[in-house]
Structure 1
Amino acid sequence: MSISVEPQSAQKPAMEGHPVATAPQSALVLALGVGQTIAFASSFYLLGVLGDPIARDLSLRPALVSSLLSVSLLTSALCAPAAGRWIDARGGKVVLLASSVAFAAGLAVLAMAHGLAGLVAGMTVLGVAMSLGLYETPFAILVGLHGEAARRPITGVALLGGLGSSLGWPLSLMFSQALGWRGACLAWAAIHLCVCLPLAAWIVPRMGRRTHAGRTTRTPVAWDRRMVQLAALFAGAWFISTCMSAHLPRVLQALGLSPAAAVGAASLVGVAAVTMRLLEFTVLRRLPPVVTTRLATLLHPIGAAALLSFGPVAAPALALGQGGGNGMLTVAKGVLPLTLFGAENYGYRSALLSTPARYAQVAGPAVFGLALDQSARLALIGSSAVCLFMFAMTLGLARGGETAQEDATA
């Protein structure tokens, strides 16, 4: 039995109309990828550098300031379905333009904060911006343009978006040292208005491909078995990703590495993520997305098993496994819904699938931290079990027509 969620009017997929004039694919991928790098650097990774100076200036506990990212993640989860409906109804360009303004507004509110209430307000606005401007929106734009051939450009955007921490942390530190934390927030706001907004306005097409006479569809999005499996898969992936982002150096220290060695090993996560996305863009692009997704779910458990079996010398294996798996799963999040369900209602469907993942991101660091307080080995066994559950969620996924009868009786 399926539970149907009725979206608002949504544009039919690209295949029914004629292509609009667009910039070359490489220029569009570059523009969207640069936008993702800036968006992640100035939101998800912002407090990793600015949290301590904000806490000192406002006489707040650093842990409290760092935890405010959960405010953004929770807000993003609440707003995601509405953002997805907007993408399908109006096209991704207008949503992307709105996200640039929202990012700039949230960062400006942060820069003017003089206490906890101001910080919460700024992070709330950033959460709205994240629901509008992170991966789901550029992926939907590419699906509107290329239909089921969007896998390669999606991988290209994810490849560039993976540089958010690698470029964001050094730039935030540079801005903070030169301008103070308030100036750093305003610098990022200016970048959104002077870089992201013009890129979206000039390069991103208004619609991917238009339907005849603007005709729309109200086909419901059904929570069938495959939707539930994908939602569980992505929730597990983003739970583990957020846990490792928050705690990986501490895990490695608990298993015998020095602080410097732990940070050095943990830094391999970003390298591995970008490398695997590059491989997806080239060598692995001919493999079915379900196959690469299954491989991705196993990389973290393999790295964890190596570390637990061979000790600190195998610490890079965990970092590489986590980074590589996460890099591939980011691409899967954009490609699997397209492969399994087609382009119709892609934006709204992707938003529905991402909502449990956003809630999992909120809870992940606290839950994993409790396990880590008991035992680092226990925490890694638990995270590996989640990944094996994710692998199980990839079983039985197939294109709609092949499993329609099975879904009808589920």
Structure 2
Amino acid sequence: MLQILVWGGSFFLLAVMGEPITRETGWGSQWVYGALSLSLMVSALLAPLSSRLVARYGGRTQLASSGVIVALGLLIIAASQTLPTFLLAWVIIGVGMAAGLYEALFATLGALYAERAGKAITGITLITGFATTLCWPLVAFAIEHVGWRYACVGYAAVLLVTTPFYLKVLPSAVRSAPRKRLIEQSSAGVNRRVYLQLTWIFALGAVIMTAISVQLVAVLQGLGYSLAAAIALSALLGPSQVASRVLQMLAGKRHPIWTALVSVVLVAVGVLLVAFVPGATAAGLLLYGLGNGLRAIVRGLLPLALMPPSQYVVLMGKMSRPSLIGQALTPLVGGYLLQHFGAMGVLMALGCLAAINVGLVVMVLRALPAAKSAPNETDER
């Protein structure tokens, strides 16, 4: 629930609040919605530092502070009368995102529980699949009744009250013996080829997810669907993402590379169905949703399976930087493609990226035995 609140007050906020802000202030929509890109870029720059802080001090206090930082940004948004102040607020929110979203949380769980973190990561991604389902209606209700400024104040108050509970639900430190083993392992090298492949897999997946999240309704309208039909089809994504995470929990224990392969194949097939089989748009979106739902699990579990926990903590931040930069640039590039090449241009680009991702996962799968036997994959624990 704490993750849902931080996601809802940062990454997902402008989907509901952007239009009321633009209407009242008169600021250009490109600036209002572009504030999220600025926030993501700040988060990308700070992600490696965030992971290093988790490795050194544990993430308990950092995660608790993330909600406080996002709350500060929301209070500045509520008080902002000029565009620079509004953008400054999103810079601060970007700091909170770096401190408290998935990468910081996964790094914290990896540091605390090592291989046993997998179950917690899967459960958390399942619950946070309801972030938009819960936060968007509540924020929209608040905007309708008290306006967007007071909605920001109310959301900030909720974050200030709830996120310190991280201090209660997470242990204060890793026990001395496991911590000693992590330090001893920190000098071991990581298979650089696998590391780079994973980084690109996560970055391409994040770009595809962001493009679909931002432009799906417009793309479907470009394919000939009415606004009502496009919104109804888009609503298929949420339940399918949650369903895939439930199925993952019920499927039993397996190496996460297989989950990664299923995820990227479903995303690729789903995007291509939407692009080339008009009568199968709903099926394509369901398949895409299933694959994208698994993507969040793969982000946490696959690096944990391929590197020692100490390196997992530090490298999660480095690996997340290209993903966040890609997410920050995606709305701009996607808007250009939609304007100049139409809906099919966007879908063709996403289909190519999805196909590349399938190839990258296959490459990691083929390298897996070598990765397992590499020095950094020692079983000495």
TM-score by length of 1: 0.85
Q: 1:281 aligns with which of 238, 249, 256?
A: 249
- Displacement of 1:371 in angstroms is 2.1
CA–CA distance in structure 2, aligned partners of residues 301 and 56 of structure 1: 37
- The answer (yes or no) to whether the contact 1:136–1:347 under 8 Å persists in 2 is no
Quickly say closer, same or farther: Cα 1:188–1:210, change in 2 above 3 A: farther
- Displacement of 1:370 in angstroms is 2.1
Q: How many residues align?
A: 371
Q: 1:183 aligns with which of 150, 160, 181?
A: 150
Q: 1:404 aligns with which of 352, 374, 381?
A: 374
Quickly say closer, same or farther: Cα 1:354–1:65, change in 2 above 3 A: same
Residues 1:242 and 2:210 aligned together:
yes
Aligned to 2:221: 253
- Displacement of 1:348 in angstroms is 1.4
SS of 2:362's equivalent in the other structure is coil
Aligned to 1:160: 127
CA–CA distance in structure 2, aligned partners of residues 67 and 221 of structure 1: 39
Give matches, 1:316-331, under 5 Å.
316-331=282-297
For structure 1, which segment, 231-240 or 213-222, has the greater mean C-alpha deviation from structure 2 after superposition? Answer: 213-222
- Displacement of 1:222 in angstroms is 4.7
CA–CA distance in structure 1, aligned partners of residues 15 and 192 of structure 2: 38
- The answer (yes or no) to whether the contact 1:88–1:346 under 8 Å persists in 2 is no
SS of 2:287's equivalent in the other structure is helix
CA–CA distance in structure 2, aligned partners of residues 402 and 287 of structure 1: 15
Q: 1:335 aligns with which of 301, 324, 328?
A: 301
- The answer (yes or no) to whether the contact 2:68–2:163 under 8 Å persists in 1 is no
- The answer (yes or no) to whether the contact 2:122–2:245 under 8 Å persists in 1 is yes
- The answer (yes or no) to whether the contact 2:2–2:163 under 8 Å persists in 1 is yes
Aligned to 1:205: 171
For structure 1, which segment, 125-134 or 138-147, has the greater mean C-alpha deviation from structure 2 after superposition? Answer: 138-147
Q: 1:172 aligns with which of 110, 125, 139?
A: 139
Aligned to 1:62: 29
Q: 1:378 aligns with which of 342, 345, 351?
A: 345
SS of 2:310's equivalent in the other structure is coil
Aligned to 1:265: 233
Residues 1:230 and 2:198 aligned together:
yes
Q: 2:359 aligns with which of 379, 392, 406?
A: 392
SS of 2:27's equivalent in the other structure is coil
Give matches, 1:22-33, under 5 Å.
none
The AA in structure 2 aligned to 1:69 is L
Give matches, 1:22-61, under 5 Å.
34-61=1-28
The AA in structure 1 aligned to 2:235 is S
Aligned to 1:6: none
CA–CA distance in structure 2, aligned partners of residues 202 and 226 of structure 1: 36
Deviation string, structure 1 residues 101-158 (Cα, Å, up to 9, x no partner): 2111111111111111111111000000000100122222322333212222101001
Q: 2:99 aligns with which of 132, 146, 149?
A: 132
The AA in structure 2 aligned to 1:386 is L
Identical counterparts, % of pairs: 31
Deviation string, structure 1 residues 323-347 (Cα, Å, up to 9, x no partner): 2211111110001110000212322
CA–CA distance in structure 2, aligned partners of residues 188 and 350 of structure 1: 29
CA–CA distance in structure 1, aligned partners of residues 2 and 175 of structure 2: 22
**Pairwise CA RMSD:** 2.2
The AA in structure 2 aligned to 1:78 is L
- Runs of 5+ consecutive residues of structure 1 not aligned to the other structure: 1-33
- The answer (yes or no) to whether the contact 2:271–2:284 under 8 Å persists in 1 is yes
- The answer (yes or no) to whether the contact 1:73–1:358 under 8 Å persists in 2 is yes
- Runs of 5+ consecutive residues of structure 2 not aligned to the other structure: none
Quickly say closer, same or farther: Cα 1:115–1:223, change in 2 above 3 A: farther
- The answer (yes or no) to whether the contact 1:106–1:123 under 8 Å persists in 2 is yes
The AA in structure 1 aligned to 2:108 is I
Residues 1:345 and 2:345 aligned together:
no
Deviation string, structure 1 residues 59-80 (Cα, Å, up to 9, x no partner): 2123321121001100000110
- The answer (yes or no) to whether the contact 1:76–1:127 under 8 Å persists in 2 is yes
TM-score by length of 2: 0.92
The AA in structure 1 aligned to 2:47 is A
- The answer (yes or no) to whether the contact 1:108–1:185 under 8 Å persists in 2 is yes
The AA in structure 2 aligned to 1:274 is V
Aligned to 1:143: 110
Quickly say closer, same or farther: Cα 1:60–1:212, change in 2 above 3 A: closer
The AA in structure 2 aligned to 1:245 is S
CA–CA distance in structure 2, aligned partners of residues 210 and 121 of structure 1: 41
- Displacement of 1:401 in angstroms is 5.0
- Displacement of 1:231 in angstroms is 0.5
SS of 1:391's equivalent in the other structure is helix
Quick check: which one's helix share is greater? 2
- Displacement of 1:308 in angstroms is 3.5
- The answer (yes or no) to whether the contact 1:144–1:207 under 8 Å persists in 2 is no
- The answer (yes or no) to whether the contact 1:102–1:128 under 8 Å persists in 2 is yes
The AA in structure 2 aligned to 1:37 is I
Deviation string, structure 1 residues 339-365 (Cα, Å, up to 9, x no partner): 000212322111111110000001112
SS of 2:374's equivalent in the other structure is helix
- Displacement of 1:213 in angstroms is 8.8
